[in-house]
Amino acid sequence: MKKLCCVLLIALWLTGCQSVSYSSGAEGIGDPYYPQLGNGGYDALHYTLELSIDPKKNTLSGDCAIEAQATQPLSAFNLDFSGLTIEQVTINGKAAKYRREERELIITPARPIDNGDVFTVTVTYNGTPKRTTSLGALWSSGWFHNDDNEVFVSSEISSSDNWYPVNDHPLDKASYSFRITVPKPYVVAANGLLQKEVDNGDSVTYVWEATEPMASYVAAVSIDEYMIETEQGPDGILIRNYLPADFPEASKAGINQTADMLSFFSERFGPYPFDAYGIVIVDFPRDAPVAMETQTLSQHGETEYSLSEYVIAHELAHQWFGDSVSLKNWQDIWLKEGAATYAGWLWLEHKESSALDTKVRGVYPMEAFSPNPPGNPPPTNLYTNTIFDRGALTFHALRLRVGDEVFFQILRTYTERYRYGNASTADFIAVAEEVSGQDLTEFFDAWLYARKIPAIPEMGLD
């Protein structure tokens, strides 16, 4: 009997040994449109970016430390990182081997990592970051540096890897610390709350903390000689705007509506998900977007359109739709862009009751037929008018079908259920059906996937 026990124990021990087989994390997170984006095998928990940035020389150097948790036994794993020179990579302070294949940084730890283990991978690097053409967009994004030595980053959808090593997909959200050192008199604006400014003599270190989970493409730093205007918004929300020193008073008309917009949207979409909001003015070139919903601090260009109430409302609404509730996959981009566009229209309706009707009647015929309906945007260019305008019309048609009370209850249920997480089109439809008690399969099939735009019978549009 004793002998048998021993044999059994040895057999169990051997099985135990054999059951741990370490392997490399996947080189993509599994986005159906962009399988190579992001990485598998771990969950990034927190990024600490400790960087010195010289806007005059357009250089950057420092560390990115990523605290992550293994989701499988890992022999190696990837980060997304392009261009810049790597000095060293460590895991929990010990040097790790690495190699690079285009935007993949493949890291082999000295010892394999067990499933569930939390580890810190630190990449020390330097160089002059670049802009590249993002997947799914016709414009270049990433690191912007202009003749006035202003620096900012704008990364939708896949350009975060141009300035820091990252698991570059909204499915892997994390909190962030930014410790960015710049020469005086430059000022650093980033996501979250400014915790500290450390005076180092001829430079200043700005310490920003973004404690709520954030998708990599809405993490940003912007550096210029800003003047800062702060205001107490509703529900204790801090409003801080980063404006160029010569910013004209007349251009502030839209920005000055922010507190009212926060109240208006909080009533309709549920509580604002973050502690702070504001606008940072950046100099987007012509081949870039006009504004960007960087989390808690949207970037706006300085043109009249960029600073219009519509665009300001649109980027603010993204804090609920796109930032707090991030996409699960990029094919569903209508879900954030349609919602933000519709939110902009709601604001216009709030200011002038006939504005929404005019907008819908104006846009509807333009969207009569879409070779790529909003649920199926072309992977080479996600940013068609259709995902914005027919996306917004989808929300309006839903509102007319279920009525105002149920419609806004759907939006509030959705933003609450998926707050700080991710959602897909299917998740939104499930909430809409649950709250309305209606079968909306045909409705959403027609609005999102049929080439011909459905009728809006309530408005006589067909």
| Least spacing, CB of residue 49 vs Zn ion, in Å | 25
Q: Which two tokens stand for residue 153?
A: 């980053």
Do 269 and 234 meet the contact criterion of CB atoms below 8 Å apart? Answer: no
Q: Name the packing angle between helices 385-402 and 404-417 (round to 10°).
A: 120
Binding to Zn ion (CB under 5 A): which residues in 11-70? none
The distance of closest approach from Cβ of residue 415 to Zn ion in the complex, given in angstroms and rounded to an integer, is 16
165, 79 in Cβ contact below 8 A?
Answer: yes
Residue 374 CB, nearest distance to Zn ion (Å)? Answer: 13
Q: Choose between 27 and 389: whose C-beta lies nearer to Zn ion.
A: 389
Closer CB to Zn ion, 340 or 431, in the complex: 340
Instruction: Name the minimum Å distance from CB 311 to Zn ion.
Output: 9
Stretch that binds Zn ion, among 94-102, 123-131, 147-155, 336-344 (CB under 5 A): 336-344
Tell me which stretch binds Zn ion (CB under 5 A): 141-149, 172-180, 340-348, 354-362.
340-348
Contact stretch for Zn ion (CB under 5 A) within 126-134, 177-185, 331-339, 451-459:
331-339
If you ran DSSP here, which 8-state letter would residue 25 be given? P
> How far is 386 from 373, CA to CA, in rounded Å?
7
**Nearest approach, Cβ of residue 314 and Zn ion (Å):** 6
Size of the site for Zn ion (CB under 5 A): 2
174-183 and 42-54 beta bridge pairing: parallel
Span of 189-197, 245-253, 333-341, 426-434 interacting with Zn ion by CB under 5 A: 333-341
Residue among 72 and 319 whose Cβ is closer to Zn ion: 319
Sheet strands (E) in 285-407: 291-292, 298-300, 326-327
Q: Is 340 in the site for Zn ion (CB under 5 A)?
A: yes
Closer residue to Zn ion (CB): 104 or 337:
337
Q: Which of residues 144-163 bind Zn ion (CB under 5 A)?
A: none
Minimum CB–partner distance for residue 396 and Zn ion (Å): 17
DSSP 143-208: EEE-TT--EEEE-TTT-GGGTS-B--STTS-EEEEEEEEEETT-EEEESSEEEEEEE-SSEEEEEE
Q: What's the closest the beta carbon of residue 349 comes to Zn ion, in angstroms?
A: 18
Provide the 3-class DSSP secondary structure of residue 358.
helix
C-beta separation of 423 from 325 below 8 A: yes
**Nearest to Zn ion of 77, 277 (CB atom):** 277
Stretch that binds Zn ion, among 95-103, 230-238, 329-337, 346-354 (CB under 5 A): 329-337
Q: How far is CA 125 from the centre of its chain?
A: 24
Kindly tell me which of 90 and 155 has the beta carbon lying closer to Zn ion.
Answer: 155
Scan residues 234-293 and list those touching Zn ion (CB under 5 A): none
Output DSSP code: residue 452.
Answer: B
Q: Does 387 bind Zn ion (CB under 5 A)?
A: no
CA–CA separation, 79 vs 64, rounded Å? Answer: 11
Q: Which residue type sits at 383? A: Y
Q: For residues 58 and 156, what is the distance between their CA atoms, to the nearest angstrom? A: 21
> What is the nearest approach in angstroms of Zn ion to the Cβ of residue 163?
22
Q: CB nearer to Zn ion: give 80 or 337.
A: 337
User: Whose Cβ is closer to Zn ion: residue 113's or residue 340's?
Assistant: 340
CA geometry: angle at 309 spanning 137 and 186, to 5°? Answer: 70
Tell me which residues touch Zn ion (CB under 5 A).
Answer: 337, 340
